[in-house]
Amino acid sequence: MKLALAFAVLALPAWAEPFRLIVTDLETPLVPNSVMDLALQEGYFVRAGVDVELVRVQQTPMALAALQAGEGDMANVGTDAVLSLVARGQADLRAVVSPNKALPFLIAGKPGFKRFGVGRIGSLDHSLSMKVLQSQGIDTAALEIVALGQPAGRAQALLAGEIDATTMSIGIWQSLPDPQGLEVLVDQGAYYAAAPVVSKVNVVPASVLTERRDEVQAVIEALVLASRDFAADREVWVAAMRKARPDVPQDQLDALAAAFVESWSVNGGLQATELAYTAEWMQDGEEFAGLTMPEPAAWIDYGPLDAVLAKLGVAEGMDRLSR
């Protein structure tokens, strides 16, 4: 393995600058989005022929600001924010892959809750959670909405009694120490069934797509191959996560691997029917009031992913291809 990696590194152009991938997790997350960190750690990018550097920021607004400032070449960001920028003519971005299109969210807290924590008012987790709660017959207009930032911080606020309920990943929920008095109010399956929205995509500026297209495709190839390996054998993901997150107990990683068995973007996660549903649903949000939703070609480019799938073949089962 080490010899193969060494040859792969030598195969990279000596003059090439690292391809900078902006992520919004400060450490390897306990969700399928971990595929980006693990593709770097386990050598998938190198084997695909691209030198990748991860740029870590907090939340989508900072990621998009960094991308537009030229501090990165690709960013994993909220789909809603991409659509909003493109609809306003403020960015020329294209979604090229979605390594974790449906984050494994659940809602946890105390029954009869009144104070609900969100990342920020108007964020995707806010709007999705309101839709999910409404599907459960909850009057969201009667809730006090509290903006608290990242899910881990919201979970701590929940433990401290500063809020009564919030949305978080299944990984964060399982990592909470002794959540007495708290319970899962809406589980992962019910959450996605109520809001089957592509929550995150990897975008690149149009200039990067033109100037570094081969590297874009190589990044996508690495992410697809890693996703397929994790889908084929959950122990591969567990072993990689043990190295990335030695602080997480083995039994928790095993439980997460079982929960993620149908969640991997084995065909790149960028499917036309799901993206169309996502755009249609988001158009009804306050953020898009008075705006015309951009046509798919204005914010999606299937070309790089389709080139990868032509090379690797299409995986059957989960993440069904749609064009």
**What's the one-letter identity of residue 123?**
S
Q: CA-to-CA distance for 20 and 84, rounded, in angstroms?
A: 23
Please give the average per-residue pLDDT across 298-315, as a whole number.
98
CB under 8 A, 24+ apart: contacts of 286-294:
286/122, 287/80, 287/84, 287/122, 288/83, 288/84, 288/87, 291/84, 291/87, 291/88, 292/87, 293/83, 293/87, 294/83, 294/86, 294/87
pLDDT at 9 (0 to 100)? 46
Mean model confidence pLDDT for the chain: 91
Domains of the chain in start order, with CATH, are: 2-102+198-312 (3.40.190.10), 105-194 (3.40.190.10)
Phi and psi torsions of 54, nearest 5°: -85, 135
Q: Provide the whole-model pTM.
A: 0.80
Paired tokens of 103: 């984050």
DSSP 82-102: HHHHHHTT---EEEEE-TTSS
pLDDT category of residue 93 using cuts at 50, 70 and 90: very high
- The distance from CA 79 to its chain's CA centroid, rounded to whole angstroms, is 9
pLDDT at 232 (0 to 100)? 96
Tell me which residue of 274, 276, 275, 262 sits closest to 315, measured CA to CA: 262
Tell me which residue of 204, 206, 166, 200 sits closest to 182, measured CA to CA: 166
pLDDT category of residue 7 using cuts at 50, 70 and 90: very low
CB atoms within 10 A of CB 177: 6
